Amino acid sequence: ETGVTQTPRHLVMGMTNKKSLKCEQHLGHNAMYWYKQSAKKPLELMFVYNFKEQTENNSVPSRFSPECPNSSHLFLHLHTLQPEDSALYLCASSHSTGTSNQPQHFGDGTRLSIL
Amino acid sequence: EDQVTQSPEALRLQEGESSSLNCSYTVSGLRGLFWYRQDPGKGPEFLFTLYSAGEEKEKERLKATLTKKESFLHITAPKPEDSATYLCAVHLNTDKLIFGTGTRLQVFP
């Protein structure tokens, strides 16, 4: 496999459920990102990991909990979500943070719906 | 405040009808600018990186240009398969990436 793979592609959950989103990259990159994409809004950066260390948390509510066990895998653990959390969650990777103008490469996202 | 604005929000073209998409920005320090294409149900796909004013990049029917205040994505003789949302993102000197809201392009045969 190549590129950035996200699972599941679609997820419907109730507000009291706990679920996890998974992202895997096969590009040999060292930085990984979580973004939220809502209709008619710009992509919102949530978390950044560089060489497995979290380098940015963009004021994300604690009901979203990221985990990066190694440079190839990134998880987003979800619990007690709200209806406004329904969105497309995108994972991206890049060579590393701070690397001059290396683009981020995105997965196809997980479409999350909160009932 | 750093800001990226894309226009128009939506664009409908007849096949073969050339046009341009705009990405204007006011930022504190620009490291570069990226263009992405996003198809429905898919993640953004990287198209171009532009580093400095005056630079141009081309790929098939697409050409991206950059000035000190804005970037254009020119589409020459578009085909229906060019239909997608086109996103620009500004890479700041702080390493932060700021995305625009995109232009949704529809090309009709």
Q: How far is CA A82 from CA A9, A14, A85, A89, B40, in A?
A: 19, 9, 5, 15, 24
Quick check: B29 pLDDT over 90? no
Which ranges of chain A have pLDDT less than 70? 1-2, 99-100
| Residue numbers in B near A92 (CB within 8 A) | 43
Give percent of chain A above pLDDT 70.
97
Query: Is there a contact between B99 and A43 if contact means CB atoms under 8 Å apart?
Result: yes
Return d(Cα A41, Cα A62) in angstroms, integer: 22
Chain A residue with the nearest C-alpha to that of B40:
A108
Instruction: Identify which of B32, B43, B91 has the shortest CB distance to residue A90.
Output: B43
What pLDDT is attached to residue B36? 98
pLDDT at A70: 95
Query: Which of B42, B49, B99 shows the shortest C-beta gap to A103?
Result: B49
Q: How many Cβ atoms from other residues are within 10 Å of residue A98's Cβ?
A: 12
- pLDDT score recorded for residue A1: 55
Cβ separation A100–B31 shorter than 8 A: yes
Res. B5 pLDDT band, cuts 50 70 90: very high
Say how many C-beta atoms besides its own lie within 10 A of residue B96's C-beta.
17
Q: Over pLDDT 90: what percentage of chain B? A: 87
- Dist. CA A78–CA A16, nearest whole Å: 10
Closest Cβ opposite residue B95 in set A41, A92, A97: A97
- Pairwise CA distance, residues B65 & B75, whole Å: 12
pLDDT at residue B93 in the model: 85
Distance separating alpha carbons of residues B81 and A9, to the nearest angstrom: 23
Q: Can you give the pLDDT at residue A99?
A: 65
In chain B, residues with a C-beta closer than 8 Å to the C-beta of A109 are: 42-43
User: Model confidence over A68-87: pLDDT tens digits?
Assistant: 999 999 999 999 999 999 99
Per residue in B7-25, pLDDT tens?
999 999 999 999 999 999 9
Residues from chain B that touch A103, judged by Cβ atoms under 8 A, are: 34, 46, 49
pLDDT-based confidence at residue B28 (cuts at 50, 70, 90): confident
Instruction: List the one residue out of A64, A57, A53 whose CA is nearest residue A30.
Output: A53
